């Protein structure tokens, strides 16, 4: 029996500028996506019917029914290409990433499912076509399909590459206070002030230091522990520390693996109740 595997890479927003509320209920944003070389794991085998089993550290409370984006992705691709191309699968999702944490979550898992199906059953399907198919399932999914550093505008689904950043291999520490933060209420609490664009010059890397996450203030209002995480990370002297997405996960980027590992060890001693993950940017 062949077991197919794929990873739902953790997503981080290196910066996220909210520019306006849109008439359709979404927000116009400008964001810089990056991805960590770790995340949730999908395993699948051909079966008689579709099934989804969820395990791992953050499996509790998650639906394994048709409303799960992993099964939704499978149904979408089968509906588009037919049951003769996309067979029933027994899927196991191992949740290593916290839920409602600003690092991709269901979007990363859905994108992983799409890549798994494409690799083994629809090899002719290119990235652009896969992104177009998946985007209606969620704004972050487009970036998660390729899981490469890129710029996102509109709702975050209009993507362009950012090879000049050259961030691959950068050591990263992710920290979450184990408190979920719902995306909708955080966006709803944005104060409506346009504080300016993210993309104002050619040197995107230089802009990272002057950029911001406009959702940080409303997220902290709902989850004050985010401010504690950012204070702790700032004291570890990374070259960049910021909240990702709508929170509560924060990230710190370091120049060297030894610096990252020393920071992780120190923080584990100080705040053992917090979740953390070490890795490198893809």
Per-position pLDDT tens, the chain of length 282:
899 999 999 999 999 999 999 998 889 999 999 999 999 999 999 999 999 999 999 999 999 999 999 999 999 999 999 999 999 999 999 999 999 999 998 999 999 999 999 999 999 999 999 999 999 998 899 999 999 999 999 999 999 998 888 899 999 999 999 999 999 999 999 999 999 998 766 677 778 888 999 999 999 999 999 999 999 999 999 999 999 999 999 999 999 999 999 999 999 999 999 999 999 999
Given this model, what pLDDT does residue 201 score? 60
Question: Residue 128: in which H helix or E strand, if any?
Answer: helix 127-134
d(CA 65, CA 211): 39
CATH 3.30.70.890 placement within the chain: 164-280
Domain at 164-280: CATH code? 3.30.70.890
Q: Could you count the other beta carbons within 10 Å of the beta carbon of residue 156? A: 25
Q: What distances in angstroms separate CA 209 from CA 49, 101, 136, 241, one per listed residue?
A: 50, 23, 32, 10
CATH 3.30.230.10 placement within the chain: 4-163
Given this model, what pLDDT does residue 202 score? 64
* Distance between start and end Cα atoms, the chain: 31
Q: What are phi and psi of 158, to 5 degrees?
A: -90, 110
Residues in CB range of 3: below 8 A, 6 or more apart: 43, 44, 45
Given this model, what pLDDT does residue 138 score? 87
Sign of CA dihedral 113, 101, 174, 242: positive
- Known catalytic residues are 11, 140
CATH of 4-163, one of 3.90.1150.10, 3.30.230.10, 3.30.160.110, 3.40.930.10: 3.30.230.10
């Amino acid at each position: 029996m062949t077991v197919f595997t794929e990873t739902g890479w953790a997503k981080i927003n290196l910066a996220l500028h909210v520019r306006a509320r849109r008439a359709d209920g979404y927000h116009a944003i400008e964001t810089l996506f990056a991805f960590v070389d770790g995340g949730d794991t999908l395993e699948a085998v051909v079966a008689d019917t579709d099934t989804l089993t969820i395990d791992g550290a953050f499996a509790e409370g998650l639906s394994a029914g048709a409303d799960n984006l992993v099964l939704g992705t499978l149904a979408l691709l089968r509906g588009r290409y037919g049951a003769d191309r996309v067979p029933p699968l027994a899927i196991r999702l191992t949740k290593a990433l916290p839920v409602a944490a600003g690092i991709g979550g269901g979007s990363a898992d859905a994108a992983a499912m799409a890549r798994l199906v494409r690799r083994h059953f629809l090899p002719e399907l290119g990235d652009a076509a896969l992104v177009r198919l998946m985007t209606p399932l969620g704004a972050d999914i487009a970036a998660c399909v390729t899981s490469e550093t890129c710029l996102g505008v509109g709702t975050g689904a209009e993507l362009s590459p950012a090879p000049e950043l050259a961030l691959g291999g950068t050591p990263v520490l992710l920290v979450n206070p184990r408190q979920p933060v719902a995306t909708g209420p955080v966006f709803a609490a944005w104060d409506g002030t346009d504080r300016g664009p993210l993309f104002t010059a050619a040197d995107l890397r230089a802009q990272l230091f002057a950029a911001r996450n406009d959702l940080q203030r409303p997220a902290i209002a709902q989850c004050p522990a985010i401010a504690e995480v950012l204070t702790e990370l700032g004291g570890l002297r990374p070259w960049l520390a910021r909240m990702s997405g709508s929170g509560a996960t924060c990230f710190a980027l370091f120049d060297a693996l030894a610096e990252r590992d020393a920071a992780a060890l120190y923080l584990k001693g100080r705040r053992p109740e917090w979740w953390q993950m070490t890795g490198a940017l893809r």
